[in-house]
Amino acid sequence: MLPQNGVEALCQALPFRGGASLCRQPEPALASPSVKPVPTEDSEEFSMALARRAFIAGGAHTQYLGKGHPDFIWKRHPDFGKRENPTLEDTLQEAVDGCLADTGVNPADIDRLYIGNFVGELFVNQGHLGSALAGTHPDFAFKPAARLEGACASGGLALLAGLDAIAAGADLVLVAGVEIQTTASARTGGDYLARASHYRRQRSLDDFTFPAMFARRIKAYGERYGLTDEDLAHFAVKAYANANLNPLAHMHSKTCTFEHAKSAHDRNPNFLGNEEFRPYLKVTDCSQVSDGASVLLLASEAGIAKLGRTLSDTVEIAGRGHAVDSLYTDGDMTELTTVRHATHQAMVDAGISVGDLDIAEVHDCFTIAELMSYEAIGLADKGQGAALAASGATALDGKVPVNTGGGLIGFGHPVGATGVKQPLELFRQMKGRCGDYQVGRPLTWGLTSNMGGDDKTVVSFAVRNHQ
Ligand code: CAA
């Protein structure tokens, strides 16, 4: 891992900052990957972060569920009053069981367990989720287990903790992420989620604090670079189209046409109360209020042997980035500076540059966040993120597909699960397990970006496929 103060200098020096972007020079940026050999444990350039190599051996998602999904029980569902939606306990159990079945791991062999969750205390009156995770299998009793919290980056932090455990000598580590959010209305949930902002200073922005914070970004970005409703509609349409191919997606059966997304209307309202920001954000620009869990198994090389598997069954977490900015200040509203730090750190850690990427999972909590993520990672130059989406380069059949399962807008956003879902999605894509939304060519390098708050806590992983 690079020291924090060295990252900015490295970012400046890297060829992908303001240089050969996908927008300006699509062919050179992606056609000439320069994948460097991954250092071995004996080699001199082996970094602290890779003190022991770590691999994803498999995992499972639950169905991501909420309003708009046909199985979600609400007042107009025929089963309303007859049965309930899955609880946090049900959801976590299902994902853990799915991970154990997928990897064939003997639960007794798991050394440590970590779980990401943001606000279980508020949505379901439940904290102390390390202990809940330990309760998902009798063989987990008395093993070290802990919960990590970093707003919507809680899952990413749990995975970082898992990597540290592998580096410290663990061979098999279970990493979970879970959130249940549909127990409250979207408006009440907006208050709970506002705990990820600086509540004292920013809560009054709007009842829907986070949607308002990103509407503010849409306004600022548009004033600097120009941005239309049509520009943002491309992101929403891609998210729903991918989700329509993904049976686990919250928005699997909801379609979103360009016509529907490109302007505000009764079924796609500008719903904010804040008059300054209301015109900038529509429902289709927003991620979902979802319930769900994702669980993956991390393994060292010895762990892979314990599973009776080989490197080719796994993907390697070859680089990681973790950057955090002050809760008390607002950064540049036209870019995701912390995302830039964390994602570049992960790529540097892995010895790759943006031209090496075959696929990415980015934190599209709102359409503008996906646009700004392209620019932060270096997939597009400043002001060119919308053009990249419109070109189709990040669609399922594009040069660098982004958020193939639908992202936070289409797949859904159970906030504590998202940072675990993203690397597991890269694993599933790289191993050809994505069914109707499978990318139809071999994938070697992928990148994740998981963001807590408004560009405050960011965790990023560079993932390498072993074929
Ligand atoms: N015309 C005008 N206004 C309308 C309307 C219409 N046709 N339909 C709805 N509205 C308004 C109403 O004011 C309504 O509020 P009330 O129900 O209290 O009257 C409000 O919109 C919400 O309507 P619904 O509850 O029916 O909408 P919904 O359940 O479909 O939710 C949403 C839509 C508000 C966009 C919701 O999906 C949402 O809040 N999404 C964002 C979730 C979020 O912020 N997640 C966190 C992302 S930030 C992040 O990732 C980082 C971090 O750390 C937190």
Q: What is the pLDDT of residues 184-195, one digit of tens each?
A: 999 999 999 999
Q: How much is the average pLDDT of 16-21?
A: 34
Q: Which residue has the tokens 């509407």?
A: 215
Please report, rounded to a whole number, the percentage of residues in the chain having pLDDT higher than 90: 89
Of 12 and 207, more confident: 207
User: Looking at the domain assignment, is residue 238 inside a domain?
Assistant: yes
User: Looking at the domain assignment, is residue 190 inside a domain?
Assistant: yes
Which atom of ligand 1 is closest in space to residue 283's alpha carbon?
A: 35
Which atom of ligand 1 is closest in space to residue 214's alpha carbon?
A: 48
User: Looking at the domain assignment, is residue 246 inside a domain?
Assistant: yes
Cβ of 273 less than 6 Å from ligand 1? no
Q: What is the pLDDT of residues 292-331, one digit of tens each?
A: 999 999 999 999 999 999 999 999 999 999 999 999 999 9
pLDDT-wise least confident of 42-46, 57-61, 221-225: 42-46
User: Looking at the domain assignment, is residue 257 inside a domain?
Assistant: yes
Q: Average pLDDT over the chain, rounded to whole? A: 91
Q: Give 195 Cα–ligand 1 centroid separation in angstroms.
A: 17
Q: Which residue has the tokens 């790759």?
A: 352
- List the residue whose alpha carbon is closest to atom 20 of ligand 1: 271
- List the residue whose alpha carbon is closest to atom 12 of ligand 1: 271
Q: Note down the domain range covering 260.
A: 186-285
Which atom of ligand 1 is closest in space to residue 457's alpha carbon?
A: 53
User: Looking at the domain assignment, is residue 202 inside a domain?
Assistant: yes
Task: State CA 218 to chain mean position distance.
Answer: 21
| 69 has a pLDDT exceeding 70 | yes
User: Looking at the domain assignment, is residue 70 inside a domain?
Assistant: no
Q: How much is the average pLDDT of 96-123?
A: 98
Q: Give 365 Cα–ligand 1 centroid separation in angstroms.
A: 13
Quote the number of domains for the chain. 1
- List the residue whose alpha carbon is closest to atom 51 of ligand 1: 453
Cβ of 225 less than 6 Å from ligand 1? no
User: Looking at the domain assignment, is residue 118 inside a domain?
Assistant: no
Ligand 1 pocket test, candidate residues 195, 197, 260, 271, most atoms within 8 A of CB: 271
Cβ of 214 less than 6 Å from ligand 1? no
Ligand 1 pocket test, candidate residues 289, 291, 325, 411, most atoms within 8 A of CB: 289
pLDDT score, position 10: 39
Quote the tokens at residue 105. Answer: 């791991």
- List the residue whose alpha carbon is closest to atom 13 of ligand 1: 271
Q: Give 283 Cα–ligand 1 centroid separation in angstroms.
A: 7
Q: How much is the average pLDDT of 78-92?
A: 96
| 183 has a pLDDT exceeding 90 | yes
Cβ of 75 less than 6 Å from ligand 1? no
Which atom of ligand 1 is closest in space to residue 187's alpha carbon?
A: 18
Using alpha carbons, list the distances in angstroms from residue 377 to 11, 182, 297, 385, 396. 10, 32, 27, 11, 19
pLDDT score, position 50: 57
Report residue 342's pLDDT band, with 50, 70 and 90 as the boundaries.
very high
Q: Give 440 Cα–ligand 1 centroid separation in angstroms.
A: 35
- List the residue whose alpha carbon is closest to atom 14 of ligand 1: 271
